[in-house]
């Protein structure tokens, strides 16, 4: 029985793909070292990382044309269908949770507007007695609500984006 081969390697860098499980399971070594460990001549696989937004279809066609039909070109999700399905399901779960959060936030805004209107009943009564028409009062309340909601949305979006940028650079 042949003993398994092993070789010590010196860590020279850490790369991240953004996919935690993949990062935990992947190591990169020189092709010559891999050939020495496995006793396989030539390359059995070549991985190419494209920049975000690159046209993978065009690269795929160019590689097949350049390397010939004997070479199979696959993208990450073709090679990892479970990961592709997980991301697909995760996107729908995110939509569900974001919809629920938006619904709850909407109830919060409606509650705030309702109590604001109830607290200002005396003020509204004075405005009506001074000649403001009920239709104008409804429009005033609606515009105030839209303005406050819009400002809250914009401020929240800017703060959320800034916080995400911070976490992206610094980490948790």
Tens of pLDDT, residue by residue over 47-85, are 777 777 778 788 878 877 877 766 677 777 887 888 888
Distance CA 39, CA 33 (A): 10
Distance CA 35, CA 39 (A): 5
Annotate 5-19 with DSSP letters as a single string. P------------S-
Q: Provide the whole-model pTM.
A: 0.50
Name the nearest CA neighbour of 144 among 121, 122, 112: 112
Measured torsion, CA atoms of residues 74, 75, 80, 85, in degrees rounded to the nearest 10: -130
Distance CA 70, CA 118 (A): 76
Q: Is the pLDDT of residue 154 over 80?
A: yes
Q: What is the mean pLDDT of residues 142-170?
A: 92
Tens of pLDDT, residue by residue over 16-32, are 877 777 777 777 788 77
């Amino acid at each position: 029985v042949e003993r398994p081969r092993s070789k010590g390697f010196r860590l020279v860098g850490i790369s991240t793909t953004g996919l935690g499980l993949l990062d935990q399971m992947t190591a990169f070594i020189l092709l010559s070292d891999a050939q020495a460990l496995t006793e396989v001549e030539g390359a059995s696989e070549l991985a190419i990382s494209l920049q975000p937004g690159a046209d993978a279809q065009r690269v795929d066609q160019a590689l097949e044309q350049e390397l010939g039909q004997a070479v199979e070109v696959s993208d990450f999700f073709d090679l990892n269908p479970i990961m592709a399905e997980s991301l697909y399901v995760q996107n729908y779960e995110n939509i569900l949770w974001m919809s629920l959060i938006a619904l709850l936030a909407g109830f919060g805004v409606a509650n705030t507007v309702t109590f604001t209107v109830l607290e200002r009943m005396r003020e509204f009564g004075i405005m009506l007695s001074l000649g403001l028409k009920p239709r104008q009062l409804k429009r005033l309340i609606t515009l105030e609500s839209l303005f406050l909601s819009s400002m809250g949305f914009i401020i929240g979006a800017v703060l959320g984006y800034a916080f995400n940028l911070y976490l992206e650079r610094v980490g948790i």
